[in-house]
């Protein structure tokens, strides 16, 4: 999924119909470019992109998503206050995801392609779409 797809998904999350789509696409392009530059696409990355989309493109997120964002920022602040440093939460979450993904890997061979019954909630179909479309979608 490229810039157009991510922008469309974000626009679909908005409770406001009047979104500046050009600004939203520009914001998404900027944040995806950070991944290309080697930055980790974790929760900090996601909340940064959402914050900028709200501030500059007129995106209006629902109360549930805003509370989730607030909780993430609070947890990240606590981790930083305890001396964890910047980016620790993303590194821990990514390492836990990797562990879960590798543990479930053998079961993927005997599970229906569209099943999301894994801890990661990623289906084999999702993985196939990601791997076949990745180079052309950036």
Residues 6-19 have a mean pLDDT of 86
**CA distances from residue 124 to 36, 56, 64, 115, 121 in whole angstroms, order as listed:** 25, 36, 29, 7, 10
Q: Pick the closest to residue 138 from 41, 57, 13, 21 (CA basis).
A: 41
Residues 13-20 have a mean pLDDT of 84
The answer to whether residue 138 scores a pLDDT higher than 70 is: no
For 87, left (φ over 0), alpha (ψ -120 to 50), or beta? left
pTM: 0.69
Residue with more model confidence, 87 or 7: 7
| Separation between Cα atoms, residue 61 and residue 44, nearest integer Å | 17
Percent with pLDDT over 70 in the chain: 93
Contact criterion met (CB below 8 Å) for 33 and 49: no
Contact criterion met (CB below 8 Å) for 58 and 13: no
Q: Report pLDDT digits (tens) over 125-137.
A: 989 988 886 545 4
**CA distances from residue 117 to 6, 27, 49, 134 in whole angstroms, order as listed:** 25, 33, 29, 24
């Amino acid at each position: 999924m490229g810039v157009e797809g991510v922008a469309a998904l974000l626009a679909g999350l908005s409770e406001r119909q009047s979104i500046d789509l050009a600004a939203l696409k520009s914001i998404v392009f900027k944040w995806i470019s950070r991944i290309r530059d080697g930055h980790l696409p974790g929760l900090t990355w996601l909340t940064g992109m959402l914050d900028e989309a709200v501030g500059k493109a007129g995106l209006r997120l629902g109360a549930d998503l805003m509370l989730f964002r607030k909780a993430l920022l609070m947890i990240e602040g606590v981790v930083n206050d305890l001396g964890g440093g910047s980016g620790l939460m993303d590194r821990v979450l990514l390492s836990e995801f990797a562990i879960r993904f590798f543990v479930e890997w053998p079961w993927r061979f005997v599970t229906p392609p569209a099943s999301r019954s894994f801890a990661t909630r990623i289906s084999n179909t999702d993985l196939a779409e990601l791997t076949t479309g990745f180079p052309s979608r950036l």
